[in-house]
A and B are shown apart, each in its own frame.
Chain A
Amino acid sequence: MVYQGSREIVENGRVDWITVGFYLLFVILGWLNIYAASFDLENATSLFDLSGRAGMQLLWIGTSLLLAFALLKIEVGFYETYSFVFYLAGIGLLFLTLLVAQEINGSRSWLIIGPVRLQPAEFMKFTIALALARVFNTYGFRLMTRNNLLLVSSVILLPVLLVIAQKETGTALVYLSFLLVLYREGLPGGVLFMGMASVLYFVLEIKFSDIPMGFLSKGEWIAIILIIIFSAAMVWNYLKRRKEVLTILFLAALIFLGAYLISFFSVPVDWGIIALMAFSVVCLYLLFLFFQNRKKHYLFILLFMIGSFAFLESVEHVFYDVLQPHQQMRIKVALGVEQDLSGAGYHVGQSKIAIGSGGLTGKGFLNGTQTKLKYVPEQDTDFIFCTIGEEHGFIGSAIIMILYMAFILHLLNLAERQTTTFGRVYGYGVVSIFIFHLVVNIGMVIGIVPVIGIPLPFFSYGGSSLWGFTILLFIFLRIDKSRKRS
């Protein structure tokens, strides 16, 4: 494999000031909101007091700016050359943490060196992005070969496993967001579709698991109908044969119609078994088509159907036997199956109340009562968005939301305009991480996504995470600065 080299690198480009502007805006807004979230009426500290959270955050911001400046000064080739070194050092650090870290809040992810507490998992993000970029940058790299897929997925999964061992499941999920990079670089959309479909089946199965529908539960019943529709859609997408699509839908509909008619003669009909019958008939039809036309696609679609069904049947087992009770509870609360005010639901309930009570314009800076009365957990770290929602209302939170989306779309443009594969892949890595953090953090605060403890980049309090995101972003800006202009 020949290294593509630095032919397309220009040394005298300009830094993308728009991104830097977004960055500065976000850290300053974050700093003010941390001050508001940890504000204590009784012994109010000033914004700059180092004994308060806001003062400390200012320190982190200051050091981050120095770090950013330094990162922009380093030669761009450095990042490419040493990307694997960074990655391996990161892996080593994760290992070390696993060995020496003491348990803090149930996870073993903090490395304590004197007065400094670091979370190596936060710094792992940019090293994975660099390593992936380097892997893709080899000459003639094609993702969809067996060896390459294996290489790429082990680059991602190794840190995932280490971080799961540290009991930081949230951060491990963040690393999985690199799937988006793979999608951009040629992973078939079908894989992502399968992923989405499994999430959908999972939700259906858990959410409606206790409503019986004859032989099946209501969730399974809906899922089976969806599987039939999906397979018809797949026949259309891959083979473009209208007649066969219609036949599939017709066969399924015929069975349901027949059952419906029979039920008129006061014969009890088990709708679960009817759905299974329709499912089997469609499967048999696909098998027939395969033997008739000898096209692999039919077999794949058939496999998709059977696989989906097996997945559906195993969800319940995995959910109840593999997941921890508190994890089950969080998922159930997020799906609205259970109202648990004393546990997981309490946090989400309180954070919804805090945001909801903000109204249109909010209660004003430092006037939020919900966060002040300490109803909201982790109010200056993972739940910082509550303070924004409560004190600045819909206007404030919507503006932040829109700014953040604008930031991400801007980064997406930057990533796509890169002239080297290295730059593009790294850029997409950055974008994926920000998308995941935004979607999960705000989603959990407003009660759409289960509670997964990950910070809102640049807003949440914390030195490790701020440094981690700063490094991630500014390496990208450095790479972008040297791209070849057309």
Chain B
Amino acid sequence: MNNYNALAKRKQVIAAVVVIIGLVYLTQLFNLQILSPKYRDYADSNAFLRRTLYPSRGAIYDRKGKLLVYNRPTYDVMMVVREMKQFDTLDFCRTLNIDMARFHSLNADMRDRRKNPGYSFYTPQLFMSQLDVEEYGLLQEKLYKFPGIYIQNRTERQYNYPNMGLILGYVAEVDKNKIAADPYYVRGDYVGKSGIELSHEEDLRGEKGVEVLLRDARGRVQGRYDDGKQDKAPKSGKDLTLSIDIDLQAYGEQLMQNKIGSIVMIEPATGEILCMVSAPTYDPALLTGKSFVSNYRQLEANPYKPLINRSVAGTYPPGSTFKPTQGLLFLQEGIITPETRYSCFGGYPPLGGRPACHAHASPLAIQYALATSCNSFFSYGFNGMLGNRTKYSSTSDAFNVWRDYMVNMGFGYPLGVDLPSEKRGFIPNSKFYSNVFKTDRWVAHNIISIAIGQGEILATPLQIANLGATIANRGHFYTPHVARERKGASLDTTFTKRHETGINREYYEVTVAGMSDAVTIGTCRGINLAPLVDVCGKTGTAENPHGDDHSLFMGFAPKDNPKIAISVVVENGRFGASNAVPIARLMMQKFFAGEIPESDKWLETSIMNRVILPYVYTRNVPAN
């Protein structure tokens, strides 16, 4: 019982603590409310107005320092409803160049809490956005007539070239999800929505500043709080220098007009992307300013889908451009030696001449097989690998080894380019086929078409160009990227890390020789640019179940110490040699010589004038 009483005393302790805390709080209340007149002063006549200062978004330059994207001031009309008095609405409308109906709809939109959740009677609300300089001047002059109307400065993107809209991306008002995900943004902020503007948003946007002002109970600004000591200046966004050469890019877009497809050029030594054309494309200036919405709708409705960057988000069967990967892997795994010969009788004999092949000398070794793009050779090799039971315990085992090499060469996963919406392509694993065939007992002959880059294999044009870069480098690559430099910060280390493919250099030399022969005596003689430069290349004709075959080319130049690797994809362009090769030829001439020689002018004109667009059935053709 003694113990119980001792514990009962603890009630007094708790009560004492409560009373002491209560007294401390009462003292603080007394201090705040009676002893400190400053709070009364702040509130009675003044209160804080925190005005956001917007930083200017970083500019974007091309690799030669040409200015591509910069900012232009625009002006928003803000309204504080509480301060509005009767004014000449007609005059106001005339100044803003709108009619009364528009005025009323804008006014209703602003007050509608569903459309504008942050609406308040007391604070500045966005009434109308993006006045240009003249409208701004007119309004500024008459502003004294319109109490409650304010003008807020903003900036808008401005473009020097009508090119590479898909790489640059566009900037627009931030949406609800982004605001919820990142507290940096508030309604009305502008944010990168695609391309570089999205992937480098955090570099480009800078950091908002804040100005703490004092205002009276009616909301009028009375001056700075604490002499501006609490203000924070906005930090401008970092300027970006791209690795893109705008002239090359513009030329590529010209070549690809009225076609669907992609050109990607990479500098093998660094992974920098020199040009990335995706056709069709659009002028980035379309997606700025007042006509943003209507232009965007039109682009969205276009059946050829110009808003998709096919270089990273388009996936194609790589066709014969895939064959070098097979040769390299067979050599590395010891399935073949550079001297191993297989015979070809216009097709792959074990399967009765399927896949078919074309006329060339036989039997043939790897170098010549690459030059003539022999289907049988790679089918033999593939069968030899998957059927090799001394080296691998099962077909699945062998196939997974095969797949790991493909992944090391940059296929099957996004490469990690600094552009959004990159696709991974598709490299199947053994599980995939076991599911498809519903048994583990499938063999190489069931899936022979993947040895020649057909079947289930899918790759993006960027991955195909990257393959060119790994061969050019004889066994390694750097993650392709479009941002070359950001001012005041070093490049992300993921772009300076060397990725090895795990295949010996000597085998690459064999492959390079084969690709060089393809240009001099083989399938892509159309790109023989000697004596300007020794080109190595590989054509591809990818079977397309939906229409004409796709025309592909993958290559690099010069043969020794390569400066560029390239991939060209022309959808429905039929043979690799008919469209992709001439386009690659012109691009290389542009790159190495700076201009197209007189002798090739006819080719340039012919390519530019070609229209290769499939018929697309659309139910609702847009009115315009």
Contacts and interface: CB of A to CB of B under 8 A. Distances in A.
Interface of A: 40-42, 103, 180, 183-186, 189, 339, 341-342, 346, 349-350, 352-360, 369-370, 372-375, 389-390, 393-394, 397-398, 401-402, 405, 408-409, 412, 415-416, 431, 435, 439, 442-443, 446-448
Interface stretch (B30-38, B234-242, B248-256, B476-484): B30-38
9 contacts: A189-B13, A342-B210, A342-B212, A346-B50, A350-B48, A356-B36, A356-B39, A356-B42, A446-B28
A259 to B, nearest CB: 36
Nearest to A432: B14
B32 A416 contact: no
Given A355-B32, A397-B29, A412 B22 contact: no
Interface string B5-32: 0011011011100110110111011101
Given A346-B50, A402-B26, 12 more contacts: A180-B14, A346-B48, A352-B39, A369-B43, A389-B29, A394-B30, A394-B34, A409-B19, A412-B15, A415-B11, A431-B14, A442-B25
B392 interface: no
B340 interface: no
B5 to A, nearest CB: 12
B145 interface: no
A342 B42 contact: no
Interface residues of B, number: 44
A398 B7 contact: no
Given A357-B40, A375-B47, A416-B8, A405 B33 contact: no
B525 to A, nearest CB: 61
B122 A184 contact: no
B437 interface: no
Nearest to A439: B21
A405 B34 CA distance: 21
Nearest to B19: A405
Contacts of A443: 25
B44 interface: yes
Contact of B29 (A41, A184, A401): A401
A187 to B, nearest CB: 10
Contact of A405 (B18, B39, B232): B18
A416 B14 CA distance: 11
Contact of A355 (B13, B21, B29): B29
A358 B47 contact: no
Contact of B32 (A184, A352, A402): A352
Interface in B176-216: 180, 210, 212
B296 interface: no
Instruction: Give the most central of A42, A350, A356, A390: most B CB within 10 Å.
Output: A356
B44 to A, nearest CB: 6
A180 B14 CA distance: 8
B571 to A, nearest CB: 42
Contact of B14 (A41, A103, A375, A412): A412
Contact of A183 (B10, B22, B82, B217): B10
A401 B25 contact: yes
Given A357-B44, A405-B18, A341 B212 contact: yes
Contacts of A341: 48, 212, 225, 230
B122 A374 contact: yes
Nearest to B21: A439
B292 interface: no
A397 B27 CA distance: 12
Given A357-B39, A374-B122, A405-B22, A186 B33 contact: no
A356 B33 contact: yes
B39 A353 contact: yes
A408 to B, nearest CB: 6
